[in-house]
Amino acid sequence: MSSFILAIDQGTTSSRAILFDRQGQIAAVAQQEFPQHFPQDGWIEHDPEDIWESVIATCREVLSKAQITPEQVDGVGITNQRETTVVWDRATGKPLYNAI
């Protein structure tokens, strides 16, 4: 069974997923943009659910493109927006407000 590494790059305007094979070659790539919200001049916010959904969608897309199962992924690397904050409701796990 082949093994792969999944890299997730969750950025300010989009999420990307890249799947690498054992030789370090790119097996599949996916990218999905998500909406940005500007409640005031100089402010930018994102709906945390949009971010999450874009990450899931890109991961599913690279698995589909490479025609592999999640069990064939041996590791995941994640990079994200360093300056972004999201606060969740402890009881529900749902975000209380947009990512800022």
The mean pLDDT of the chain is: 94
pLDDT beyond 90 at 84: no
The alpha carbon of residue 3 and the mean position of all alpha carbons in its chain are separated, in whole angstroms, by 20
- For the domain spanning 4-79, the CATH number is 3.30.420.40
pLDDT, tens digit, 9 for 90 and up, residues 44-67:
999 999 999 999 999 999 999 999
At 28, which helix (H) or strand (E)?
strand 26-33
In which band, very low, low, confident or very high, does the pLDDT at 30 lie, cut at 50, 70 and 90? Answer: very high
> The tokens 């947009």 sit on which residue?
98
Which amino acid makes up residue 3? S
Per-residue pLDDT at 2: 78
Q: What is the mean pLDDT of residues 27-35?
A: 97
The string over 1-11, giving b where at least 16 C-beta atoms fall within 10 Å of a residue's C-beta and e elsewhere, is eeebbbbbbbe
Residue that is written with structure tokens 């890249």 in the block? 18
* Alpha carbons 100 and 96: distance in angstroms, whole number: 12
How far apart CA 46 and CA 86 sit, in angstroms, is: 10
User: DSSP label at 23?
Assistant: T
